[in-house]
Chain A
Amino acid sequence: MAADTTLADLARRMAAVVGPRNCFSSDADLLTYECDGLTHGRTRPALVVLPATTQEVAEVVRLARAAGRAIVPRGSGTGLSGGARPVPGSVVVGLTRMRKILEVNLEDGWVRVQPGVINLDVTRAVSGAGFYYAPDPSSQSICSIGGNVAENAGGAHCLKYGFTVNHVLGARLVLDDGKVMDLGGPALDAPGHDLLAVLVGSEGMLGIVTEVTLRLLRRPEATRTFFATFPSTDEAGEAVSRIIAAGILPAAIEMMDRLAIVAAKAATGLDWPDVGAALLMDADGPLAEVEHTSSRALDIARQAGALELRVPRSEAERQLMWKGRKSAFAAVGRISPNYLVEDGVIPRSEIAPVMREIEGMARDHGLRVANVFHAGDGNLHPLVLYDARESGQEHRAEHLGGEILRMCVRYGGSITGEHGVGAEKAAYMSEMFCEDDLETMQWVRAAFDPECRFNPGKVFPSSPLCGESRARGEPHPAEKAGLVERW
């Protein structure tokens, strides 16, 4: 068939750029790339290429464009919103071979890395000198910086330290025509529009990032952690509100409900009690300040109705407490054959009523929901438990997940705090944004990528098309290019 000849020809050209071992087109090789961390939606791409340099990325983009194919950038593939899910016929550009830390400048506090570098490896590279990279998504031991930039990754400590966007100083970007553009840099306030600000969090839809300059922070002098248990999420939510109201800015404050605690215990063997809710809080900073704020926070937790307060006696014990929290997602696998991870945001003062509402919604759906989340910034991660073997449960679970997102919007929050919109939540964008809002975002996209070549089908509900006013009747360039269909 002509189409296959074309594909074979493209594969040959791609292989000539990246080497035959780094260009896959066989079904077996493509299997891995059908989805990211969100495994229940799969699409096989036409090709996967793994370039090793900016020049190779640029050449790959030029070839894909000449062949009229969509390009799907991919990092470690740990995303939870289907942001790296291919579209039919697309070329997946995997950045996993671009794993070099290119330059470390501790004097000015930055590091320049390739996009495939693992988040935690940035910190590892500079921790000996007492520095670290602040954003710490739970997947930090496997997720890549390029993926973090695409999703504007957060983590437990972004309440105090901000998200990826607050820590990216510069980026090198390959555009749809293969041109290479440098945005930002180590010196602040470069004159001009802040394109870097919109690049971070653009979910791979503006181009392919091939280098990133990240801000490094000096390690805080001291960290104090405590674990507190409560009869229910009401008291725990109240404790969070009072701690914040006292002017304390915790480095992290995480909440788990009864089901999440049960799961974490099952997975880690921690001797946590059976309670309705637990908080894990970090305070960090200069010693005297941390001593002060952590002891005040402990008092407040006690007054808010804490059953038990535990302060780790050693760093090892502290790490174990955090391990319990960070492994909570996976731990849920111990108590349920299947689960969906949701990601929504509510105003943090509404935690208690929202928890009750989720409980009611779960009951109505005949399902259980475990909650483990970033309470300080109201970023919920409801885990909807279900059994795919039971007919109808998966469908009910998805429905419940959607209802929870709608509830977040109703409370004035967001459909995603850190996982991104991706393919999964594109349909929910209209709950938060009107057509004019989305059209404006599409215009921004079109300034970078007029043919919507990069990562089509993500973030935006299926119409209107990229960058065009809705009223126009003529075919969109992306339609002409065969990348998308209007119906």
Chain B
Amino acid sequence: MDPRPGIAADAVLGVVPRLVFEPATVAEAAAAVARCARDHLTLAFVGGGTDLALGTPPETLDAVLRTSGLARVVEHAPADQVVTVEAGMTLAALQGALAPHGQWLALDPPWPGRATVGGIVAANAFGPRRARYGSARDLILGASLVRADGTAAKGGGKVVKNVAGFDLPRLLVGSLGTLGLVTTVTFRLHPRPEAAATVRVREVDAAGVWALTRAARQAQLEPSSSAALVVSDRLDLAVRFEGFAPGVEQQSERWLALARAAGLAAERLDEPGARAFWDRHDAVRTDGPLRAKLSAPPSALPEVARQALAPLLGELSPASAVWYPELGLGFVAGSPARLPAVAQAIEEARAALEQRGGSLVLADAPTEVRSAVDVWGAAPPALPLMRELKQRLDPDRRLNPGRFVGGL
């Protein structure tokens, strides 16, 4: 399989590759990576491109390997609730293949029609259901990869429980294509819930959102998602319950009672209302051109709202934000107004989060902002160990060189 010349649409963070490989099989993909190794070419892997703006531009980029030709379900064992799928398959296509069996992969990151399985793993992309099901890190059972030297290798397995060998699959989650090309992934699946309900309170302050989240936990409720959308200086909090109908009914009623006991006007959304809320949520997650991911201990929400969300929102117009109160994760998106002030707001928010052990990462940002602030933030304390890992798996620094944390 011969590569084609790269064009502007193949660029990774503005760097246009000379060559583009579009393998149709895992074997072709391995051959392409091996060829890059032989010719000492730097290389990036691209799936649906939904997290292509994440990171710093690669120092050099000779070639891009697109995984879109690797889009098959390798094996689905419905009775074992396990699927093995090629990396280039989109999440929507995978869910479509699983739906007739009443199952799904319980991941709901943005852009399911574009986001690929491999990209979701590489970026640890997630959505609101992470509160119940965890992220790709929790659902991955096994993975095959092609190493920088072109050798195929695998880790994990295809059963839900397995501790044989070092956990390469989880190590690949969130590694942003710096350790190897993910070619197939085995996931644990879940039954599709038979019922769902979304309940909501409007225009609550951050302390109120945390208090209600805490109260729901205290009351032993188990929502599948909670998301607070920022509306000016207030938050609309929606909570979704999914599962068997009796459980969904009882939990929704109890949540509404908790909210009302806190003096809040709470309502259960009808189907169009629920869809409208989650559509609004999805819009925030795909908004730009600046998009920041925030992390902090969940209980810090009131301080996060004051010291991180507020300064950022003040410098974006239009501006939007979502916070997942159970996870302590959120996203702020919008258009930067004035450059120095935006950079300052990012640093201010980042300082407030890092002080609490959290972080701020720019998932996307205009070039001017990128040149003013680091997209990754403070170097993690274990950076020397990450460098060692990179050195062992990609000694010539040919995979996405410079794109990841600390210039890895």
Q: Which residue of A162, A417, A440, A448 contacts B168 across the interface (Cβ within 8 Å)?
A: A440
Check if B386 is an interface residue, CB within 8 A of chain A.
yes
Q: Give the size range of A's interface with the partner.
A: 35 or more
**How far is it, in angstroms, between the C-alpha of A286 and the C-alpha of B80 when the chains are bound?**
25
Q: Is B247 touching A292 in the complex (CB atoms < 8 A)?
A: yes
Say whether B151 contacts A194, CB under 8 Å: no
Residues of A within 8 A of B81 (CB): 244
- Whether B161 contacts A163 by the Cβ 8 Å rule is yes
B116 close to A (CB within 8 Å)? no
Inter-chain CA distance A414–B295, complex, in Å, is: 36
Minimum-distance CB pairs A-B, first 8: A289-B247, A247-B191, A197-B170, A288-B250, A221-B220, A349-B79, A414-B162, A107-B299
Q: How far is the CA of A438 from the CA of B168 in the complex (A)?
A: 10
Of the candidates A194, A433, A441, A448, which one forms a contact with B174 in the assembled complex, judged by CB atoms under 8 Å apart? A194
Q: From the candidates B158, B193, B243, name the one contacting A412 in the complex (CB within 8 A).
A: B158
Chain A residues near B (Cβ < 8 Å): 105, 107-109, 130, 151-152, 154, 158-159, 162-163, 165-166, 175, 181-183, 185-195, 197-198, 200-202, 218-221, 241, 244-245, 247-249, 285-293, 345-349, 374, 377-379, 412-421, 425, 429, 432-434, 436-441, 443-448, 459, 467
| Chain A residues near B247 (CB-CB < 8 A) | 285-286, 288-290, 292
Give min CB distance, A178 to chain B, whole Å. 14
Indicate if the CB atoms of B77 and A347 lie closer than 8 Å: yes
A416–B153 alpha-carbon span in the complex (Å): 20
Q: How far is the CB of A83 from chain B (nearest CB, A)?
A: 11
Is B366's beta carbon under 8 Å from chain A? no
Complex: how many Å from CA A351 to CA B401?
Answer: 47
**Residue with the greatest number of chain A CB neighbours at <10 A, chosen from B166, B191, B380:** B166
The reply on B171 being an interface residue by CB < 8 A is yes
User: CA–CA, A110 to B296, complex, Å?
Assistant: 14
Given the known inter-chain contacts A162-B134, A188-B329, A447-B385, please indicate yes or no for A247 contacting B194, CB distance below 8 A: yes
Interchain CB contact under 8 A, B222 and A286: yes
In the bound complex, CA of A200 to CA of B388 (Å): 18
Contact assessment for B382 and A440 in the assembled complex, using a CB-CB cutoff below 8 Å: no
Q: Which residues of A contact B244 (CB under 8 A)?
A: 247, 289, 292-293
Q: How far is the CB of B321 from chain A (nearest CB, A)?
A: 17
Q: Which of B196-204, B261-269, B352-360 contacts A (4 or more CB under 8 A)?
A: B352-360
**Cross-interface CB contact of B166 among A190, A287, A441, cutoff 8 Å:** A441
A409 to chain B: closest CB distance in Å? 9
B167 on the interface (CB 8 Å rule)? yes
* B6 within 8 Å of A (CB atoms): no
| Structural contact, B217 and A440, CB atoms closer than 8 A | no
Interchain Cβ contacts under 8 Å between A and B, 26 examples? A107-B299, A108-B328, A151-B163, A158-B161, A162-B134, A189-B174, A193-B178, A194-B124, A195-B382, A219-B220, A241-B79, A244-B79, A247-B244, A288-B247, A290-B247, A345-B161, A378-B80, A413-B157, A414-B162, A414-B164, A417-B163, A437-B154, A438-B165, A440-B393, A447-B393, A467-B392
* Given A194-B137, A377-B160, A201-B328 contact (CB < 8 Å): no
Chain B, Cβ-Cβ closest to A248: B191
Contact B161 A185 (CB under 8 A): no
C-alpha gap A247/B81 in the complex (Å):
10
CB of B186 to closest CB in A, whole Å: 10
* CB pair B160 A159 closer than 8 Å: yes
The interface centre, meaning the residue of A158, A183, A418, A447 with most chain B CB atoms within 10 A of its CB, is A447
Q: Is the CB of B159 within 8 A of A412?
A: yes
Knowing A108-B297, A197-B171, A467-B392 touch, does A286 contact B380 (C-beta < 8 A)? no
> Complex: how many Å from CA A10 to CA B32?
53
Q: Which residues of B contact A439 (CB under 8 A)?
A: 153
Query: Which size class do B's interface residues fall under?
Result: 35 or more
Whether the Cβ atoms of A189 and B298 lie closer than 8 Å is no
A432 touches B165 (CB 8 A): yes
Question: Beyond A151-B163, A247-B193, A437-B168: 16 further Cβ-contacts under 8 Å?
Answer: A159-B161, A185-B357, A187-B297, A188-B295, A189-B295, A194-B170, A201-B166, A202-B167, A345-B157, A348-B80, A378-B159, A378-B161, A414-B164, A434-B153, A436-B152, A447-B385
Interface flags for B272-305 (1: CB within 8 Å of A; 0: not) read 0000000000000000000001011111000000
**A189 touches which of B151, B154, B193, B359 (Cβ 8 Å):** B359
The one of B147, B158, B376 that contacts A191, using a Cβ cutoff of 8 Å: B376
Most buried by B among A130, A190, A248, A346: A190
Q: Within 8 Å of chain A (Cβ to Cβ): is B406?
A: yes
Q: Which residues of B contact A (CB under 8 A)?
A: 77-82, 102, 124, 134, 137-138, 145, 147, 151-155, 157-168, 170-171, 173-175, 178-179, 190-194, 214, 217-218, 220-222, 243-251, 293, 295-299, 327-329, 353, 356-359, 361, 376-377, 380-386, 388-393, 404-406, 408
Closest chain B residue to A350, Cβ basis? B80
Cα distance A287–B254 in the bound complex, in angstroms: 11
Distance, CA A195 to CA B297, complexed state (A): 20
Interface pair A190/B297, CB less than 8 Å apart: no
Query: Is the Cβ of A446 less than 8 Å from the Cβ of B392?
Result: yes
For B134, what are the chain A residues with a Cβ–Cβ distance below 8 Å? Answer: 162, 166
Contacts of A447 in B (CB 8 A): 385, 388-389, 391-393
Q: Given that A190-B380, A288-B250, A443-B393 are known contacts, is A198 also in contact with B164, CB under 8 Å in the complex?
A: no
When the two chains form their complex, are residues A416 and B162 in contact, meaning their CB atoms are under 8 A apart? yes
Q: Are A413's CB and B159's CB within 8 A?
A: yes
Complex Cα–Cα for A414 and B154 (A): 14
Contact of A188 with B327 at beta-carbon distance under 8 Å, contacts A247-B191, A412-B159, A436-B153 already known:
yes
A285 to chain B: closest residue by CB: B222
Chain B residues near A245: list those with CB within 8 A.
78-79
A192 touching B406, Cβ below 8 Å:
yes
- Asked whether B356 lies within 8 Å of A187 as measured between CB atoms, the reply is yes
- Chain A residues, CB < 8 A from B293: 189
- In the complex, are the beta carbons of B385 and A181 less than 8 A apart? yes
In the complex, A441→B245 CA distance in Å? Answer: 45
Chain B residues with CB under 8 Å of A425's CB are: 164
Q: With A193-B174, A288-B247, A432-B157 known to touch, is A166 a contact of B138 (CB < 8 Å)?
A: yes
Interface centre among B168, B247, B358, B385, by most chain A C-beta atoms within 10 angstroms, is B385
Give Cα A217 to B157, complex, Å: 27
Q: Which residues of A contact B296 (CB under 8 A)?
A: 187
Are A437 and B161 interface neighbours, CB within 8 A? Answer: no
On chain A, the residues within 8 Å of B393 by CB distance are 440, 443-444, 447
A429-B164 CB under 8 A given contacts A187-B358, A349-B77 = yes
- Bound Cα distance from A401 to B27, whole angstroms: 36
| Contact residue among B165, B295, B384 (Cβ-Cβ distance under 8 Å from A187) | B295
Given the complex, which residues of B lie within 8 Å of A441, measured CB to CB? 155, 165-166, 168
Q: Can you name the residue of chain B whose Cβ is closest to the Cβ of A108?
A: B297
- Cα distance, A248 to B244, chains bound together (Å): 9
Interchain CA distance A14-B232 in the complex, whole Å: 62
Q: Is the CB of B381 within 8 A of A182?
A: yes
**Docked complex Cα distance between A415 and B157 (Å):** 10
Report Cα–Cα, A17/B297, bound state, in Å.
Answer: 37
Q: When chains A and B are docked, how far (Å) is the Cα of A247 from the Cα of B245?
A: 12
Bound: A440/B172 CA distance, A: 12
Distance from B107 Cβ to chain A, minimum over Cβ atoms (Å): 15
Known: A193-B175, A448-B388. A108 touches B299 (CB 8 A): yes
When the two chains form the complex, which single residue of B221, B329, B361, B377 contacts A286, counting CB atoms closer than 8 Å?
A: B221
Most-contacted residue by chain B among A152, A191, A417, A441 (CB, 10 A): A191
A346 to B162, CA, bound (A): 10
Which of B165, B167, B190, B377 contacts A200 (CB under 8 A)? B167
Q: Which of A158, A197, A417, A433 contacts B154 (CB under 8 A)?
A: A433
